[in-house]
Amino acid sequence: NAGVTQTPKFQVLKTGQSMTLQCAQDMNHNSMYWYRQDPGMGLRLIYYSASEGTTDKGEVPNGYNVSRLNKREFSLRLESAAPSQTSVYFCASKKGTAPYEQYFGPGTRLTVT
């Protein structure tokens, strides 16, 4: 089992460029999440998908969109990148909507210049 995988590992964008961060899990989990991690601010939820076919906003959704492509894959899109979106992005999954533990990917380090 690979667990949760994310691509790319690193990315540098110029202001205004767009990109999609990919996430996939092979644990047959129903729920998937996108977080951003900034120094001293813990993890902040951007969007989540409680089950295939549903997505909802989290704490900091502005400037992002998501797609739950199927049960395995959950992508995060930045339509017009801004320097404030420089961060480390983590995808996570868990079994269902009960308060189970989450399984995290290795992260994507994004720099917007």
Write out the residues near another protein by the rule CB under 8 A.
4, 31, 33, 40-43, 45, 48, 50, 56, 58, 90, 92, 94, 96-107
CA–CA dist 80, 77 (Å, integer): 9
**Whole-number minimum distance, CB 80 to another protein, in Å?**
27
Q: Are 108 and 34 in contact (CB under 8 A)?
A: no
**Side chain identity at 1, as an amino acid letter?**
N
Q: Are 84 and 110 in contact (CB under 8 A)?
A: no
Nearer to another protein by C-beta: 17 or 73? 73
**Whole-number minimum distance, CB 94 to another protein, in Å?**
7
Nearer to another protein by C-beta: 3 or 16? 3
